[in-house]
Structure 1
């Protein structure tokens, strides 16, 4: 640990997905460096997966895991939770209050009567950036963002794309900003070889429109390998569009070529395919791309969000979002020349290993905390 021991409270809504992965990694790493951590999460999201994730994090959260109502959209919890977060920050004598995502960022920065020395940080994680400026909800959220800048010690963007999008939608931040990429742990760079019976392609993600699941199966229908062999696909995940996806698979005549295996950890699913496909229509800085690159899978992805930052020297290979024909072309290219895909994979691996580690992520965020805590009047 560099600098003094800090008392840190992190606020987020749903403890699932990449946002929670980031908070969990940061919590564990900062706790190992001698800081004391607490977490505020949504009391409305309490399924078995949530409870398992939070139970695993409890030993690293000396200041406790606290539940507060955090509705996905506007609701009664939005009126009471900021006051509750403020009271909690006072009771725990917090040095750093860090809001993650749209709701976490709102609650942290709206919290009243926090200790004078408490500094408030905010990481959007996509969140408010996914709301178009022309939509009613977008206009509301963007106005709130502008108003809350004066209560923000710094905005930490997880990608250059996120900062550019924020500036385009909301305006240049009036507070300091920093780009700190998400990172992986050392063990996640262990290779994951494909099973002998692996499908050609594997998808890991939520089954909803935004993840590009429909262009993916439409692309598969256009994809054959050498000799005209039909390509195969494993899809891991659950979500609101599963039933519609199943119907579309049948409509396309793919029911023998696509296998849905439900929600499973990425590294459990990766061996089921020889090439990972991330066909998202929108993203921030998706962990699944980092994880697939680190696991040494050839990778096809769309040119959205911060994915070009992860692809680095191989960014020219990215395909347009929502374009089934372009996606099919990339998939056929993998089947036709797996050696070229393997060479590109090794370039990506070197790039990700160098710039996307939990240690580097924690170093950067801890340095921001310490610098601001040392100068609370700034």
Structure 2
């Protein structure tokens, strides 16, 4: 499935691939699940190592669906988001687990998973392992300001960890450039493997009769902009005298704060909150999708909304301009509730234009953002990390 010339499996040789990341939510989790499915279909033996303290009922259902495909198993260990004394305990548990899995490839995702997995890979080499160590930031530490104290610390750590890295995978050209600008020019080979969606996700979603006007779907944290979404709703109400109906779907540490903000803005009667659910189910429940993020890398929710033929308002951050291409001029400056409200109101007031823009955008991304292309590019990175196209492993579990 990854395509001739970049074969993941050669005959009976079945590479053992372990994906290591912290939080099994959002885009990283979707990216890993897609890779697992493609790699298993190509004959690889795959396992997942991730945090046990994040995720809710929606994520548990996703784990149950994917676990039968994991020949190397699903292994969950508590991992704190911030640096803490508990990191040492987590590291020791992860080291023992990773050593037992005997990986050929350690594919790490996100800042914390990237640090754990690459250092463990280096230690495993002292025991005779030749596991390739790959790192995909998925935004992560690259979201920090280069002038901030935290940013300076994290970028120094990223540079130091590069010595334990065999290849990088960036999910957007933006991410690759952010790494160069904030950390430095990569000293290891890299590929850009843009996130992609499946053919079935290009089928338009029908709008329910009682659909809301606007949908926010994503993590409930300020980086993703739920507060800006609410402020924009209040601005539209103040300008028109009518509060739009809105649906907010997702989980996260700041959900209660956004619910309080909704009440304070007088939007409680017209704004509903719902726990995380499949994106396409949520798309049917509203006419226009809004992605008000302050920072992104290559957001799946934008690709999924476009594939579903939903009119979309999004901010001009990260890899989103790469997705919008010729329509990038209508992206909204990040952090501006006023600009967000203006674009939301434009689409709400002119549904014919909104639908035409959505249809054109859907056709434009179809050849550029597929799961198959993403998997091919990741396989290329594996070959670069090992210095050859085929990654052999004669043993089976």
Give the TM-score normalised by structure 1.
Answer: 0.92
Shift of 1:46: 7.0
2:65 counterpart of 1:56: yes
Shift of 1:260: 1.8
Name which of structure 1's ranges 228-237 and 20-29 shifts more when overlaid on structure 2: 228-237
Name which of structure 1's ranges 125-134 and 167-176 shifts more when overlaid on structure 2: 125-134
2:241 counterpart of 1:241: no
Whether the 8 Å contact between 2:19 and 2:106 is mirrored in structure 1 is: yes
Closer/same/farther in 2, CA of residues 371 and 14 from structure 1, 3 Å limit: same
Q: What is aligned with 1:145?
A: 158
Q: What is aligned with 2:108?
A: 99
Closer/same/farther in 2, CA of residues 142 and 227 from structure 1, 3 Å limit: closer
2:167 counterpart of 1:177: no
Instruction: Give runs of aligned pairs for residues 206-355 of structure 1, distance below 5 A.
Output: 206-223=219-236, 229-355=242-368
- Once residues 55 and 250 of structure 2 are traced to their aligned partners in structure 1, the CA distance between those partners, rounded to angstroms, is 19
Q: What is aligned with 1:25?
A: 34
Q: What is aligned with 1:78?
A: 87
Name which of structure 1's ranges 112-121 and 266-275 shifts more when overlaid on structure 2: 112-121
**Is there any run of 5+ residues in structure 1 with no aligned partner, and where?**
none
Shift of 1:116: 4.2
Q: What is aligned with 2:393?
A: none
Whether the 8 Å contact between 2:299 and 2:320 is mirrored in structure 1 is: yes
- Once residues 302 and 45 of structure 1 are traced to their aligned partners in structure 2, the CA distance between those partners, rounded to angstroms, is 27
- Once residues 43 and 259 of structure 1 are traced to their aligned partners in structure 2, the CA distance between those partners, rounded to angstroms, is 29
Shift of 1:256: 2.4
- Once residues 101 and 210 of structure 2 are traced to their aligned partners in structure 1, the CA distance between those partners, rounded to angstroms, is 53
Shift of 1:253: 2.4
Q: Deviation string for 1:346-372 (max 9, x for gaps)?
A: 121112211111111111111221344
- Once residues 69 and 250 of structure 1 are traced to their aligned partners in structure 2, the CA distance between those partners, rounded to angstroms, is 35
Q: Deviation string for 1:234-285 (max 9, x for gaps)?
A: 1112333333322322332222222222322211111111111111111121
- Once residues 351 and 60 of structure 2 are traced to their aligned partners in structure 1, the CA distance between those partners, rounded to angstroms, is 41
Work out which structure has the larger RCO, using CA pairs closer than 8 Å and 6 or more positions apart in sequence. 2
Whether the 8 Å contact between 2:18 and 2:49 is mirrored in structure 1 is: yes
Measured on the aligned residues, the alpha-carbon RMSD in Å equals 2.3
Aligned length: 376
Closer/same/farther in 2, CA of residues 134 and 183 from structure 1, 3 Å limit: same
Closer/same/farther in 2, CA of residues 261 and 84 from structure 1, 3 Å limit: closer
- Once residues 257 and 98 of structure 2 are traced to their aligned partners in structure 1, the CA distance between those partners, rounded to angstroms, is 44
> SS in structure 2 opposite 1:183?
coil
Instruction: Give runs of aligned pairs for residues 115-134 of structure 1, distance below 5 A.
Output: 115-134=128-147
> SS in structure 2 opposite 1:355?
coil
Closer/same/farther in 2, CA of residues 269 and 373 from structure 1, 3 Å limit: same
Q: Deviation string for 1:201-225 (max 9, x for gaps)?
A: 1111122222212221221122269
**Is there any run of 5+ residues in structure 2 with no aligned partner, and where?**
2-6, 390-397
Give the TM-score normalised by structure 2.
Answer: 0.88
Name which of structure 1's ranges 60-69 and 313-322 shifts more when overlaid on structure 2: 60-69
Closer/same/farther in 2, CA of residues 88 and 234 from structure 1, 3 Å limit: closer
Q: What is aligned with 2:377?
A: 364
- Once residues 199 and 83 of structure 1 are traced to their aligned partners in structure 2, the CA distance between those partners, rounded to angstroms, is 48
Name which of structure 1's ranges 193-202 and 251-260 shifts more when overlaid on structure 2: 251-260
Whether the 8 Å contact between 1:188 and 1:295 is mirrored in structure 2 is: yes
Q: What is aligned with 2:124?
A: 113
Whether the 8 Å contact between 1:99 and 1:109 is mirrored in structure 2 is: yes
- Once residues 46 and 332 of structure 1 are traced to their aligned partners in structure 2, the CA distance between those partners, rounded to angstroms, is 34
> SS in structure 2 opposite 1:18?
helix
Shift of 1:121: 0.5
Shift of 1:50: 4.3
Shift of 1:158: 0.4
Name which of structure 1's ranges 303-312 and 48-57 shifts more when overlaid on structure 2: 48-57
- Once residues 325 and 276 of structure 1 are traced to their aligned partners in structure 2, the CA distance between those partners, rounded to angstroms, is 17
Q: What is aligned with 2:19?
A: 10
Shift of 1:148: 1.4
